[in-house]
Structure 1
């Protein structure tokens, strides 16, 4: 399980709909909102 870096929720990498690669590391998100917040913080 991965941890959503925005909300801290556990995310199953195999079932995750939202992911973002930064500096070669793949981050997984529980929702589109968390993904958008992560992208905006960059």
Structure 2
């Protein structure tokens, strides 16, 4: 499972219809709207490192 960086919903990676790569990392989205918002300003949504990245 992945977390949509825009709305924080969980997204199943295997069946995700909306995904993008930014700085060599793949991000998954619940909708085209969240994907578009992320692509317009990815740093806005990546300011804070997610808790699961610390492990």
Could you say which TM-score interval applies, normalised by the shorter chain? over 0.9
More strand by share: 1
From the CA coordinates, give the structure whose radius of gyration is larger. Answer: 2
TM-score, length basis structure 2: 0.73
Structure 2 unaligned runs (5+)? 43-55
Which one has more relative contact order, counting CA pairs under 8 Å at least 6 apart? 1
Structure 1 unaligned runs (5+)? none
More helix by share: 2
Superposition CA RMSD, Å: 0.7
TM-score, length basis structure 1: 0.95
Could you tell me how far 1:12 is from its partner in structure 2? 0.1
Q: Which runs of 4+ in 1 moved over 3 A?
A: none
Give 2:38's aligned residue: 38
